[in-house]
Every structure is written in structure tokens, then in C-alpha cells.
Structure 1
Amino acid sequence: MLTSFFGSTKPATLIIVICYMTVTYFLANLGAFTLDVNASEITRVSGFWLLYIFTMFVLNFVAQKNDLTKRNAFKIILFAAFTAAIPTALVNTQVLVAGMCVLLAIRRIISLRSGLAVERKIFDAAFWIGIASLFYFWSILFYGVLYFGILIFVAYNFRYWFIPIIGAGCVAIFKTCYVLYMNDNTSFIWQFYDPISFEFSGYNEGAILIAISFFIGIFAWTIFNYIRGYQAAAMKQAPVYILIIVIAGVGLTLTILAPSKNGDEWYFFIPALCIITANYLEKAKGKIFKDLFLGVIILLPFLILYLS
């Protein structure tokens, strides 16, 4: 029943996903509303809710435009459920902004395979990753995805390899000019870098540990199916499979290097996990099993919110 419902792209399906995201988002942000809540706080929380919804639409667009999944709602309900399972990300506005910027960059990187407007796409991707790094420093790792995209799609032109430096430099110049104009000091340069931390004690909290264990378990369960899909893919589509695996690898690396291990760092791994898991749901046999599998994923955030 669940897989049949979300296996289509009907308007009702999209409305259900938006309602699901709205409920989980505002439950996660319940602490922002106090007895003396004001209009500016309501506007701020509502604005980032719209950003959260917009990120889902970007993921859906990227997946359908580039044939990463079939035309269904699996990737968006998975995005809604996986992100809701880490409520710390939904209250961290910097993570929400950085995650959206990274997805916009990934959209441009994947579109490099068309061979059209390559310089502009590389610059745009580098620019978006640079913006993301201003909000969450370790999203800078996605420059590795950009260079990998150049390698597999447009490595034939040597000058393309220098464009990401220009894009990152533009972000650095704009940021420096803004800070000097507003504060007249350069201390932000040293504050920009976040140190690497291998302190995982934050994962001792039950709710976070359940969510992360679930992510790792699903990834381990579905990645082999995705690799088989790569082996069977047409020559034109095969590089995209590799790129998604690289994006997942970068997302996992980010979770290891992030200075604060409170769960929100997994937000950057989720888009790739959604694509890989959606492919699994499309190809897996056994309707009852798939319904149970998807049902557990959908219900997981409410268990997390209850334990938080």
C-alpha cells in the first residue's frame, strides 16, 4: 500500500510529504516557541521551514531531471523521514542553508555530462559550495565532488580544472568585503576554519545513536543493489552512479571530520542516501517487505522525537 502510494507522482502524494515535513519540522522547533514568542521569531522559523521544503523540491528536481530514480515520490518521502530523524539539523539554520547550497551545487555538477555551458556550471557549483562553507565549514569537502565531476565528464579541457578556484575566490572576496565594510576587522578569516574532531561522545545519546545506526544499516543494505545497478547501467548513465557513490562517501567523511557530533552533520549524507534507497525500493521484490521497510522509515522520526 505505502509503496504503491509513493510509487506515483500524484499531487496528493506531494501534499502528504509536505504535511509530513511540516509536522516533523515544527515538532523539532517546538522549543523556539515560548510564552513570549514574537512575530520575528515566527517569521524566522517559518522562513526556514520554506527553505527546508524548497530543498526537498531541489532534490526531487535533480533526481528526475537526471534520471537518478524513476518518476516516483520515494526520494522525497525518504528525504522527509531521514531529515526528520535528526531533529538537531532541523533547528540548525546554518545546516539547512548549507545543505540547500550543496544540493544546488550537485545539480550543476551532474548536469556537466551534457557538455553544454560547462564553464558556467563549474563556476556555479564552486560558488554554491563556497557559500555553503560559510555556513558549515566542512561542506567545503564537496569541492572534491566537483573535481570528480570534472574528471569523469569534462576532463578533456585543462582550463576547467582552474574554474573552481575562481568560484571559491569570488566567495572569499565577497565575504571579505562584506566583513570589512561591516566590522572593519579580519578576525573572521581565522574563525572560518572549523577544527577536525574525532570526539564521538555526542553519539551516546539514545535518539542520535538510533538514527545514525539506522542510516548506516540502510546504506549497507542498499549500496550493493546500487552498485549492481551501475554495472547494468548504460554507458551514458554509469558515471552518474559513480558520482552518487562519491557524494555519499564525501557525506560520510564529513560526519567523521565535523567538529560537533550532535547528529546534524548527517544532513549532508542524506540526499545521496535517499537516491540509493529509492533505487532499492524501485527494484526490490516482495510488496509486503517493501511496505514494512518504508513504513518503519516513515515512523522512525516520531520515535526519535519521543526519545529526544
Structure 2
Amino acid sequence: MVPQTFLNSSILIANLFVLLALRRIISLRSQKEMKKKLFDAAFWISLATLLFFWSSLFYVLIFAALFLFRITDIKNWIIPLIGVLTVAVIVASVLIATGYDISNYVTSIDYDISLDFTNLNSGQIIIASTIILSYFVWSLFYYVRNIKNKAKSLKPSYFLILIATLLAAIIIIISPIKTGAEFIFLFAPLSIVLTNYIEVSSEKWFKEVLIWILIITPFISLVL
């Protein structure tokens, strides 16, 4: 539905790094190798931030996980900062080795915020974003309501997916250059939210309609 997501290689790779971080964050539920997982998560998000600055919002997920999984050891709260520092040291070392001015690199980072959606004013993106927004609002309502029925040990993971979805939505809203590529951050967490709704829904015909809309819409978009 949004082929623009494949046109920006930086955002595409940044999203891949975010997904790798999300995997490590959710796996904290096992309470095993926590320091390694926290370091990896911060490391991946830091790499994503180098490619697309607003990927940095996903740092919130790390500290949300520490809170939700009730990880109170202060050492574990420091580990993510070490992951960030590691990437910073590597980048600084590469810049120095290649003779690139660090101050110029810092000033070149695009951390602007824009609420101008003019670039998204095309039939294809309007249709896709309308469907995505509708699915987002509809499934999110049931997802939140269904969390209370989940096992206590699983609830933190569900909340983390919810937070990831909201962070992705924020990125879409504030992204400085809106091309449609930024929608890719929303696809993974939203697909999990929507799948959970489809699993609990008892109305088979409605589930079929939801899926067929997703299948047919890209073909309709091609002629717009």
C-alpha cells in the first residue's frame, strides 16, 4: 500500500535495526542475560539513530521495559547508556580516522520537526494512510481492552508493543521530511496489534473483509 517505504534505504535499514532492538527488549521477559540484551537493544537503536535521528524515540522502549519487567538493579539501568556510548565512540573514531570534522557531522544531523503534510497529499498515500489509521484505531481499542485478560507475565510485552506503536505514530507525525517512507516504523507493531485483534474476534466475515482490503488496496493504488 505504501511503496514509498522501500525508496529510502536509510529509513529502511533504520527500521531493521529498531526491529532487532525490539526483539531483544521483549526477550527481557525471560530475565536471562539481561545486561547483554539491554546493551544490544541500545546499540541497535543507536545505529538506527545514525541513519534516521527520530529513531532515537525508541530508547523510551528500553526504559519502559526496565520499569514494566521490574528490573530494579541500578547496573541494568546504566547498561543502555554504555551501549549508546559505545556507538558514539566508534563513530567518533571513524570520523577522526577519515579526517572528517566531528562538529560538521553533528550539525548535519537532521533533528528538525515538521507538521507539514503537504508531501503526503497524493491519492495513493491518502488511501493507504486512511486504511492504516482506521485499522490502527479499531484494533488498538480491542488490543488495550484485551490486555487485562492476558497472563500477568505476558502483560509487559503487550504494553511494550503498544508503546512501540505509539512511538511509530509520533515519528510519522513529526518526521521533518514526509515522503511516506516513515510509515515503515508503524508496520511491525501495528501488524502485531491487528493480528491479536483477528485472533480474538469471533466474527469470521469481518476478519475476512479486513484481510481482503489489505490485499486489494495495493492493486487499486497502482491505478491512482
- After superposition, the Cα gap between the structure-2 partners of 1:298 and 1:160, relative to the gap in structure 1 and judged at 3 Å, is same
User: 2 CA distance for matches of 1:90 and 1:302?
Assistant: 17
1:122 paired residue number:
38
Match of 1:88, as an amino acid? Q
**Residue 48 of structure 2 aligns with which residue?**
132
Moved more, 139-148 or 203-212: 203-212
Equivalent residue, structure 1, for 2:58: 142
Structure 1 residue 282 displacement after superposition:
1.3
Deviation at 1:173, TM superposition (A): 1.2
Indicate conservation of the 8 Å contact 1:196/1:258, yes or no. yes
**Cα distance between partner residues in 1 of 2:179 and 2:107:** 24
The aligned residue for residue 222 of structure 2 is 305
- Who is 2:12 aligned against? 96
Deviations along 1:58-85, one digit per CA (max 9) or x if unpaired, are xxxxxxxxxxxxxxxxxxxxxxxxxxx1
Question: Percent identity among equivalent residues?
Answer: 35
Counterparts of 2:50 and 2:220, CA distance in 1 = 33
Q: Determine which of 201, 220, 223 is the counterpart of 2:137.
A: 220
Q: Does 1:275 align with 2:181?
A: no
8 Å contact 1:218–1:277 — kept in the other structure? yes
5+ unaligned residues in a row in structure 2: which ranges? none
Letter in 2 for 1:225: Y
CA apart distance, 1:239? 1.2
Question: For residue 27 of structure 1, what is the aligned residue in structure 2?
Answer: none
- Which residue does the alignment assign to 2:118? 201
The residue aligned with 2:79 is 163
> 1:304 and 1:194, CA in 2 relative to 1: closer, same or farther beyond 3 A?
farther
- State the Cα distance separating 1:305 from its structure 2 match: 3.2
CA–CA distance in structure 2, aligned partners of residues 104 and 173 of structure 1:
21
Query: How far apart are residue 123 of structure 1 and its match?
Result: 0.4
What TM-score results when the alignment is normalised by the length of structure 2?
Answer: 0.95
Matched-pair contact (CA < 8 Å) for 1:127–1:170: yes
Q: TM-score, normalised by structure 1?
A: 0.70
CA distance in 2, matches of 1:261, 1:227: 29
1:172-227 CA distance string (max 9 Å, x none): 11112112222432211111242111111122212111111111100111112111
Q: Is the contact between residue 129 and residue 142 of structure 1 (CA under 8 Å) also seen in structure 2?
A: yes
SS at match of 1:160: helix
Partner of 1:178: 94
The partner residue of 2:174 within 248, 251, 257 is 257
Shift of 1:298: 1.4
Q: 1:105 aligns with which of 15, 21, 43?
A: 21
Bigger Cα displacement from structure 2, 236-245 vs 173-182: 173-182
Structure 1 distance, partners of 2:70, 2:218, is 41
Q: Summarize the Cα distance change of 1:166–1:210 in structure 2 as closer, same or farther, 3 Å threshold.
A: same
Q: Deviation per CA, 1:101-134, whole angstroms, max 9, x where unpaired?
A: 0000000000111111111100000000000111
Q: Does 1:152 align with 2:152?
A: no
The answer to whether 1:231 aligns with 2:148 is yes
Report how far residue 259 of structure 1 moved.
Answer: 0.4
Matches within 5 A, 1:65-104: 85-104=1-20
Partner SS state of residue 269, structure 1 = helix
